[in-house]
Amino acid sequence: MELDILAVGAHPDDVEIGAAATLTKAARQGKRVGILDLTYAELSSNGTVETRQEEAAAASRLMGLHSRFNFGLPDRGLEAVREEAIRRVVDLIRQTRPKTVLAPYWQDRHPDHESVSRIVKEAVFSAGVRKYTGSEQLAAHRPAHFYYYFINNVSGPSFVVDVSDVYQEKLAVLRCYRSQFERGKDGVETPLTNGYLEQVEARERQFGFQAGTLFAEGFVSPNPPVLASLV
């Protein structure tokens, strides 16, 4: 089971916030796209694990994902199982052999997002080291591309992807997570229930404006993107 793109987040909805439109576009182009959630987000202020999994399944269908995985690691406890997390991400990279891996941007108000950023960076490197032993005996694989997507904090992107033609689909994907973005009768107010989706849309409208299009999702490359030529 090989993938073209593997996007990793701490919680169901992280990847969607930063890259749902890009992944939807890739899936429509026939690419095999997968998401890995490291936790079930069991400590979220609103919703339940069961509800969140139902929402993630609905979002996955809308994006046209090939695969979705969840390691069930402890929410707000990733640093305590850091080495296990790295090994398991290495195993998944070696199993699925993606061309591109996405991780959260390394600066974010949520500590779990920053933890995942570091975990995936190490896993991408270690997956390509032949003598590195993961949890399983699998052949080494180093993805050709590794990029960061934005969740909360934003920096200047290294590049953007024009997603104007699928942006309404992204909004529909995000609205799948009603437990997080809408304050229910028994819910509590959080940063996500206070105009968060409007902020995401404004960010991607701004990225699009800068690039001369309507909407764009931004990504950061740890290395300068390489062009074959200027023409």
Q: Please report where in the chains the tokens 């576009």 appear, as a residue.
A: 25
Q: Which two tokens stand for residue 64?
A: 């046209």
How far apart are alpha carbons 6 and 149 in whole angstroms? Answer: 12
**Residue 1: what pLDDT?**
80
Q: Which CATH number, 3.10.520.10, 3.30.70.20, 3.40.50.1360, 3.40.50.10320, labels domain 5-220?
A: 3.40.50.10320
Q: Which pTM does this prediction carry?
A: 0.96
Euclidean distance between the first and final Cα of the chain, in Å?
A: 37
Residues 120/92, Cβ–Cβ less than 8 Å: no
The tally of CA atoms less than 13 A away on the side-chain side of residue 127 is 26
Domain boundaries, the chain: 5-220
What does each of the 231 residues of the chain score in pLDDT, given as a tens digit?
899 999 999 999 999 999 999 999 999 999 999 999 999 999 999 999 999 999 999 999 999 999 999 999 999 999 999 999 999 999 999 999 999 999 999 999 999 999 999 999 999 999 999 999 877 789 999 999 999 999 999 999 999 999 999 999 999 999 999 999 998 777 899 999 999 999 999 999 999 999 999 999 999 999 988 888 888
- Reduced to 3 states, what is the DSSP secondary structure of residue 201? helix
**Residue 18: what pLDDT?**
98
**Residue 225: what pLDDT?**
82
**Residue 229: what pLDDT?**
85
How far apart are alpha carbons 48 and 179 in whole angstroms? Answer: 8
How far apart are alpha carbons 177 and 12 in whole angstroms? Answer: 9
